[in-house]
Amino acid sequence: MPYRAPVDEYRFLFDHIVGLSHVVDTDRFAEATPDMTAAILSEAARLCEEVLYPLQRSGDLHPAKLENGVVRTSPGYADGYRAIADGGWVSISAHPDHGGMGLPMTVTTAVNEMMSSACLSLQLNPLMTQGQIEALEHHASDHLKATYLPKLVSGAWAGTMNLTEPQAGSDVGALRSKAEPMGDGTYAVTGQKIYISWGDNDFTENVCHLVLARLPDGVPGTKGISLFLVPKFIPDENGNPGKRNTLKVVSLEHKMGLHGSPTAVMQYDGAIGWLVGEAHDGMRAMFTMMNNARLGVGGQGIGVAEGAYQHALAYAMDRKQGRTPVQGGPGSIIEHADVRRMLATMKADIFAARAIALACAQAIDMQTATDKPHWAARAAFLTPIAKAFGTDTGIAVAEMGVQVHGGMGFIEETGAAQYSRDVRVTAIYEGTNGIQAMDLAARKLMDGGEAAYALLDEIEAQAEAARASLPELAEPVWQAAESLREAVDWMLGHQDLNQRFAGAAPFLRGFARVLGGHFHLKAALTEAGDGPRTRLARFYITRLLPEHAGLLAHATQGATDLYALTPEDFAA
């Protein structure tokens, strides 16, 4: 079945749920008028439906290869990438000073999600470049900005991030890569990095790597790490690709999914690089790129969920099997209660996850436009939720998509299994979802819960206002918010972070469940009667929201029972 970009859904969320109008009312984003936004969404939809989606199966069936040290990408990817770059989609949120569109991150998030639905393997390339652009905009010297940003913004060059090493997975501080100052403002970077998404390609003029490494006087741990920009080709005096740098792709990983995206093992042998930001402050600079990518990866999960849902819905509408309560005789399987349960769950969770991601993006835009601390705090608080819940939703929806297909879902030719294989890594890269949860339960509560309580106040205020028109939906949302408030209180009452970490994952998911109820209720309030959004909200609030009770009970148990189990108990 063909993919159809949910443009009307994005516009509804912009207008009624996340408040894009507040972003447009600022001087920074005044040009992002409703007419411009509508045109952007329509043109992006055309790109995704007509150019990128036809590449989805090609990348899976014909993976990227390493031949004689050269990465050969999947058939059609070069043309697909050129369409992305020529359309300006790499630089949609980049600052106009360097040739970007300067559009809100809210709009960028919607466009990136569409591209993820259409062809996740290829979309991962511009997503990495977008993150590098933001990191350089915030931390690079004027010289580096002038040399690299126009090329990255145009899509002529591509960007990557290099954190992980064989002996240092999530423990970035254990890295061994080193950088030696050369005395001329450059550094010789040596080390090996693994899991580098789009570490090389055969369709951009240059590939620019942001590499974490330690200077000779760098202390152990993350506080001694610096960040370096290391290009595949060293720019000449005119800023064009010149001499080949001393770096190479050692191998490409053989992966469960995302076959069209070359995931490289990178070797740096005294490669020339330039310091980005201050010495020994590399993690702060890299986190600019990582936080951008975390929201983007959450959108990837939602995008795959949308693609998998559309695929499953088309099959359920067409496949006839068994006696159904509606038809009586052999009818489409969408008439079976359990199939309806799965499809409704898929649709309801996609809406919840999408609303959370766009709310996070809107907070980023408001912070960019106003520089007010409370917007920065909200954006930071929502980022781990958007990443983890977005990707968990992608995995769950893709798995349900296989189930809706039944035995045909297990057959590769239907394409249902590809969604499940491709999306699985999104819960792992850019910080595992467990790390996102630990971040939420620890660092994001260092403000004494101010950002969390501000969200809860809004949820309860809306629920109070909705009691008059939708009391049966408003009351459970209000009660869920109160339960979540108690869980936040519990977290703040335990200074031993391991007590919080033991329940961090269910705490994050419980928070997402309540936010989902809030956004579904808000959607239902836009209708004058019992319309489709009210019916979907009722499904979510009566069937999915109640999960928060068990999640928060789990979240507030502490760590004692976990550590009562001995290693021998696990092996017994």
Q: Are 206 and 151 in contact (CB under 8 A)?
A: yes
Q: Are 97 and 89 in contact (CB under 8 A)?
A: no
Q: Which two tokens stand for residue 270?
A: 């005294």
Residue 31 appears among annotated catalytic residues:
no
Q: Which two tokens stand for residue 15?
A: 């207008």
**Alpha-carbon distances, residue 5 vs 10, 286, 442 (angstroms):** 9, 32, 37
DSSP H or E segment with residue 228: strand 225-231
What span, in angstroms and rounded, lies between the C-alpha atoms of 321 and 549?
Answer: 37
Residue corresponding to tokens 């509804």: 12
* Distant-in-sequence, close-in-space partners of 290: CB < 8 Å, separation ≥ 6: 131, 161, 430, 431
Amino acid found at 258: L
Q: Are 394 and 423 in contact (CB under 8 A)?
A: yes
Q: Are strands 206-214 and 157-162 parallel, antiparallel or unpaired?
A: parallel
What span, in angstroms and rounded, lies between the C-alpha atoms of 331 and 325?
Answer: 9
DSSP H or E segment with residue 110: helix 105-139
DSSP string, 237-285: TTSSEEEEPSEEEEEE---SS-TTS-EEEEEEEEEEEEEESSTT-HHHH
Q: Are 490 and 556 in contact (CB under 8 A)?
A: yes
Under DSSP, is residue 565 helix (H, G, I), strand (E, B) or coil? coil
Nearest to 345 by CA among 543, 67, 121, 115: 543
Neighbours of 564 (CB within 10 A): 8
Burial 131-155 (b: 16+ CB within 10 A, else e): bbbbbbbebbeeebbebbbbbbbbb
Q: Choose the catalytic residue: 335, 399, 430, 460.
A: 430
Active site residues: 430
